[in-house]
Amino acid sequence: MSKQPSSIAPIGVFDSGVGGLSVLKAVRKVMPQEHLLYVADSANAPYGDRHVGFIEGRALAIAQFLVESNAKAIVVACNTATAVAIEKLRSTYRLPIIAMEPAIKPAVRLTKSQIIGVLATRRTLESPAVADLCRLYGENTRIILQPCPGLVEQVERGEADTEFTRQLLGRYIAPLLAEGADTLVLGCTHYPFLEPQIRRLVGDQITIVEPSTAVARQLERRLMGCINVASAGMPQEHFYTTGAVDKAHALVSRLWGESVNVQGLV
């Protein structure tokens, strides 16, 4: 019989890089007492350009690190890693593993023009999971899939607000608006860090949907009975990167919103 994990055990969250911090922020808001571990696999970002076996290997190695760090649940805060490796992760580990997927279902509910645009990496958009979502929810809505090469790299470089990033966003989003999309799905966890730039580009009539809060709530439901409600002691966050630690320190601190310590992970 598997024993119930300790409620004070941490929650592990990982992404190909710093994008999953957008999900970590939602987890912190929804579950304020939890201890959190975050792994940014920045040495290997973007996953979107890697072959399937490589991404699966990285997801398993990071999950193993989180399990050895006593995590009571894992959030795969990466649409690409979810699309490629979620089945392997769930068949390897027995703890709750929460996945990301582009928020197509809520977007279909929100659109009035019945046209939505989905921004994500090519690998996510080519996945069977996204094909299933389009089949399920695309009956009365046109779902336009827009790959966005280069955006993950811009966020990883800390260049969310440069001319080049704005050009990329314009190139990817303008055709969606021209087709009549009134709702945009941010199908990559890096993209919420570009939301101010996207909002400036599209104006305030367009709905932008991203699922980090829904994912945090799903995590909370899965952990029911194992939530850390201890009022004593500060909840902690530990950040790890496979990339350069000094660069990660500056970037993670900026995106997280306060100066944090980042440790190296091989």
Within residues 43-82, the interface with ligand DGL by CB under 6 A covers: 45-48, 78-80
Q: ∠ CA 122-153-69 to the nearest 5 degrees?
A: 90
Least gap, CB of 114 to ligand DGL (angstroms): 26
Catalytic site includes residue 226: no
Catalytic site includes residue 148: no
Q: In sequence order, what are the beta bridge partners of 207?
A: 183
Within residues 21-50, the interface with ligand DGL by CB under 6 A covers: 45-48
Residue whose CB is nearest to ligand DGL in the complex, by number: 48
Residue with smaller CB distance to ligand DGL, 188 or 223: 188
Token pair recorded at residue 176: 């969606």
**Cβ 209 vs Cβ 183: under 8 Å:** yes
Residue with smaller CB distance to ligand DGL, 10 or 20: 20
DSSP per residue over 143-174, as a string?
EEEEE-TTHHHHHHTT-TTSHHHHHHHHHHHH
Token pair recorded at residue 128: 């069977």
Token pair recorded at residue 79: 């649409």
Stretch that binds ligand DGL, among 164-172, 177-185, 186-194, 248-256 (CB under 6 A): 186-194
Within residues 113-172, the interface with ligand DGL by CB under 6 A covers: 121, 124, 152
Least gap, CB of 166 to ligand DGL (angstroms): 20
Residue with smaller CB distance to ligand DGL, 51 or 233: 51
Burial of 261 (0-12, 13-18, 19+ CB in 10 A): exposed
Asked if 243 is part of the footprint of ligand DGL (rule: CB under 6 A), the reply reads no
Asked if 85 is part of the footprint of ligand DGL (rule: CB under 6 A), the reply reads no
Q: At what angle do helices 163-178 and 195-202 cross, to 10 degrees?
A: 50
Closest CA to 210 of 79, 39, 41, 76: 79
Number of residues that bind ligand DGL (CB under 6 A): 16
Using CB under 6 A, list all residues that contact ligand DGL. 15-16, 19, 45-48, 78-80, 121, 124, 152, 188-190
**Residues carrying an active site annotation:** 78, 188
